[in-house]
Amino acid sequence: MSTAGETKEFQTEIKQLLDIVIHSLYTEREIFLRELISNSADATEKLRYTQLSGSEVKDKETPLEIQINTDDTNHTLTIIDAGIGMTKEELVENLGTIAHSGSKEFIKHLTAKGDQKDLNLIGQFGVGFYSAFMAADKVTIFTRSYHVEGESFIWESDGVGSYTITPGEDQVRGTKMVLQLKEDAYEFAKEETIKRVIKQYSSFVPYPILVNGEKVNTVDALWTKNKSEISEEDYTEFYKFIANAFDEPLLRLHFSSDAPININTLLFVPKENMEQFGFGRTEPGVSLYCKKVLIQEKSPVVLPEWLRFLRGVIDSEELPLNISRETLQDSALVSKLNKVVTSRFLKFLDGQATSDPEKYKEFWEKFNFFLKEGAANDYTHQKELLKLLRFESSNTASGELVSLADYVGRMKEDQTSVYYVNGPSREVIESGPYLEVFKNKGFEVIYTYAAIDDYIFGLVREYEGKKLISADEADLNLGDEQQERSEEALSEEDAAALTNWLKEVLGTKVTEVRESKRLVDSPAVVFSPYGTNSMQRMMQLVNKDFNNVGPSVLEINASHPMIKRLDAARKNEDAFAKIAAEQIFENAQIAAGLIVDPRGMVNRLNEILERALG
Ligand SMILES: Nc1ncnc2c1ncn2[C@@H]1O[C@H](COP(=O)(O)OP(=O)(O)OP(=O)(O)O)[C@@H](O)[C@H]1O
């Protein structure tokens, strides 16, 4: 037992660490408070545990709370906890040495290199307590261990080379830290500053934090509680707090797991998608915690970008508390969290789709674009995302949705592929020529209304071994499902002569003209020589080249009365045949959703009307 004060040198590595902490570490100095509060919370938690496990604890009646007092006149900040406290040996060991050899090596390496970016890495090794010296030029610690009575110690240092330990007056169990603030850190002796920093980083610390006697953390860390202890109102209140929301969330997922990684997660889907309302890009809204202490608010790395609409918390005990922003970005642990939580959320959505289809539909209508963005960009989760996509189809009523699994489950026996067709609306698709052959065969066709749908299908190409084929593909191979030549059709020779003539008349606007084997009611149809019409249309929009629709492949229906009359006019060398041919071609382009230059068409239509009206 000591009777007089002793001065001790810090271990070499601590000196180096202190030098880094004081001179170059952390752009956000205020986090020192988070570190100290979290140490106090840890010490309190350890005490609570000791108490629970039946060990003898002194000063049982002292409440388990953390007190913070500011003194703006003397420029001090005091943090008091009733945790386990420290014995003299513990003071020396915990606050004078670094035991971990890896950390030692790392500090040596850093000091040698002195590179700022590398310096941020140090956060991984727990600067913790020493960060106090970012704000203080003297730290005094009064402490008494939970298992001794009448023996307390005072540890004091200016954070340069040494510290002193002196026997202290009798005090209650726990630790009191007094920070004599540096001149440029006087703001931390102001109550408002401290309250703000606590709100930001330590709202969910599980013990009351009192600033000058007033409790400031009022929100429970719901995500660490048992689901059975949490009411609907608790969840809603919590959501409103973390998301700054006024209404209830649309969906909620609360889960904990220990393998493959320790995770406690509470995620919410908001009621509305603000991007849909033109509010600009939504910022990520899920914060990263380690044991209820904030690591990164609204983290851009803990979930993929396409999940930016989610609000909530991910807490993992495995994260180092001091991990820095730069390190988070490339942390293998964070990528693992990201992957596990994303998969779990997608599984949850899949479950919702089965257990509460109406709710899922509401979610889908508001947030589908985010899932599509994921399906288009995120290879890791593409498979899981494809399962969640929903579409209208030729078999559904307007507004009713099918999944790819529904589609595949009811495919016709002789059908080998999944067919889809793009168009701006159900009405446009259904009045167009592309569905005819499928209707005839009784094949279901998925309707895609957004360009990104076709992009995704073009990218993944297959679902459960079934090819995804656009119904407006030029070389649609339906095998023996194709139509026989009808008796009413033009003769093969006439049809051949007509297609040759059309090719001549239309010139560079077509790459090919041929007789169609798929049309029933429409006179003609166009295909893109480069893929699909929707791709061609997208290119037109992207290039903003509305006057240049690009060439098409034209197919004509040799049984259609209009085509037969066109052939007759051609044979009679009627000058009107050419005008009619051009109009039939452009009508087909319009039906394909392509943007046709209206100037030539207006004159032509006037001529046609004049003639029709006699
Ligand atoms: N308020 C306190 N009460 C009791 N012991 C404390 C207190 N603050 C610090 N300690 C002791 O000092 C040790 C060193 O603290 P420091 O903050 O440097 O690292 P850490 O808390 O172990 O790591 P990290 O900060 O990365 O969680 C702690 O492990 C703890 O044993």
What spacing in Å lies between the alpha carbon of 35 and ligand 1's midpoint?
9
104 pLDDT above the threshold of 90: no
Q: Which residue has the tokens 């090596």?
A: 105
Residue 376 in domain: no
Let me know whether 53 and 190 are in one domain.
yes
Which residue ranges are tagged as binding site for ATP?
35, 39, 81, 86, 94, 101-102, 124-129, 175, 325
Let me know whether 229 and 352 are in one domain.
yes
ipTM for the assembly: 0.97
Question: What is the pLDDT, as a whole number, of residue 115?
Answer: 56
Is the CB of 124 within 6 Å of ligand 1?
no
| Boundary residue ending a domain (169, 193, 215) | 215
Cα 163 to the center of its chain, rounded Å: 47
- As a three-state string, the secondary structure of 478-534 is CHHHCCCCCCCCCCHHHHHHHHHHHHHHHHHHEEEEEECCCCCCCCEEEECCCCCHH
**Highest mean pLDDT (candidates 204-213, 343-352, 468-477):** 343-352
Let me know whether 189 and 234 are in one domain.
no
Which residue ranges are tagged as binding site?
35, 39, 81, 86, 94, 101-102, 124-129, 175, 325
Residue 600 in domain: yes
Average pLDDT over residues 304-326: 86
Is the CB of 349 within 6 Å of ligand 1?
no
Pocket mutation for ligand 1, best pick of 31, 36, 39, 295 (most atoms within 8 Å of C-beta): 39
469 pLDDT above the threshold of 60: yes
Whether the CB-CB separation of 265 and 254 falls below 8 Å is answered with yes
Question: What is the pLDDT, as a whole number, of residue 103?
Answer: 64
Closest C-alpha among 437, 445, 443, 446 to residue 414: 443
Let me know whether 71 and 159 are in one domain.
yes
Nearest CA to ligand 1 atom 13: 94
Give the pTM: 0.70
**How high does pLDDT run on average in the chain?**
88
Let me know whether 595 and 540 are in one domain.
yes
Question: What is the pLDDT, as a whole number, of residue 318?
Answer: 87
Closest C-alpha among 312, 279, 307 to residue 297: 312
Let me know whether 231 and 210 are in one domain.
no
Domain that holds residue 356: 222-369
DSSP SS3 for 433? coil
Let me know whether 231 and 281 are in one domain.
yes
Alpha-carbon distance of 158 to 24, in angstroms, equals 17
Residue 245 in domain: yes
What is the CATH classification number for the domain harbouring 339? 3.30.230.80
Question: What is the pLDDT, as a whole number, of residue 550?
Answer: 84
Residue 377 in domain: no
Question: What is the pLDDT, as a whole number, of residue 483?
Answer: 59
What is the CATH classification number for the domain harbouring 155? 3.30.565.10
What is the CATH classification number for the domain harbouring 425? 3.40.50.11260
| Boundary residue ending a domain (161, 190, 215) | 215
Average pLDDT over residues 263-291: 91
123 pLDDT above the threshold of 80: no
Nearest CA to ligand 1 atom 19: 128
Both tokens of 224, joined, read 């660490």
Domain count, the chain: 4
Question: What is the pLDDT, as a whole number, of residue 118?
Answer: 53
Nearest CA to ligand 1 atom 20: 128
Question: What is the pLDDT, as a whole number, of residue 321?
Answer: 65
Residue 583 in domain: yes
Let me know whether 351 and 452 are in one domain.
no
Average pLDDT over residues 233-240: 88
| Boundary residue ending a domain (438, 471, 504) | 471
Let me know whether 315 and 172 are in one domain.
no
Q: Say whether the peptide bond before residue 260 is cis (omega within 30 degrees of 0).
A: yes
A 10 A CB-CB count for 513 gives: 22
Let me know whether 55 and 197 are in one domain.
yes
Q: What confidence tens digit (pLDDT) does each residue in 556-604 have?
A: 999 999 999 999 999 999 999 999 999 999 999 988 888 888 888 999 9
173-187, 354-368, 416-430: the lowest-pLDDT one: 416-430
Let me know whether 346 and 458 are in one domain.
no
For Cα atoms 452, 453, 459, give the angle at the middle one, nearest 5 degrees. 85
Let me know whether 277 and 240 are in one domain.
yes
Residue 418 in domain: yes
Whether the CB-CB separation of 553 and 498 falls below 8 Å is answered with no
Residue 383 in domain: no
Residue 279 in domain: yes
Complete DSSP assignment for 529-574: TTS-HHHHHHHHHHHT-TT----EEEEE-TTSHHHHHHHHHHHTT-
Atom of ligand 1 minimally distant from the CA of 79: 1
Question: What is the pLDDT, as a whole number, of residue 1?
Answer: 42
Pocket mutation for ligand 1, best pick of 36, 44, 94, 107 (most atoms within 8 Å of C-beta): 94
The share of the chain scoring above pLDDT 70, in percent, equals 92
